[in-house]
Amino acid sequence: MCRSIKTLRPPVLPTEATEEDIHAAALQFVRKVSGFRAPAAHNREVFDRAVEEVAEATRRLLDGLEVRGAAARAEQH
């Protein structure tokens, strides 16, 4: 069915999350919350809008997170 939501921040991911990673996580979240894998035509607009809003919130979250020690670990490798 749907892939599981994974952690999208370093150092869990070796690089920054891609737009594809963020969109996939947002889609999975909206699917889980709504209970629909694919919405009916009359729900498509609100479903798609929710995915975009969750993706934007995820981008802001990832951009704002400060992972302590991440820079030091990155320099070691």
Is the C-alpha dihedral spanning 3, 19, 22, 24 positive or negative? negative
pTM: 0.80
- What does the pLDDT average to over 56-69? 91
pLDDT (tens digit, 9 = 90+) per residue, 23-59?
999 999 999 999 999 999 999 999 999 999 999 999 9
Q: Cα–Cα distances in Å, from 5 out to 11, 25, 27, 71? A: 16, 5, 9, 25
Q: Can you give the pLDDT at residue 70?
A: 59
CA atoms within 13 A on the CB side of 39: 18
Alpha helices in 35-68 (DSSP H): 44-64
Q: Which residue did the predictor score with more confidence, 76 or 65?
A: 65
Q: Is the pLDDT of residue 72 over 70?
A: no
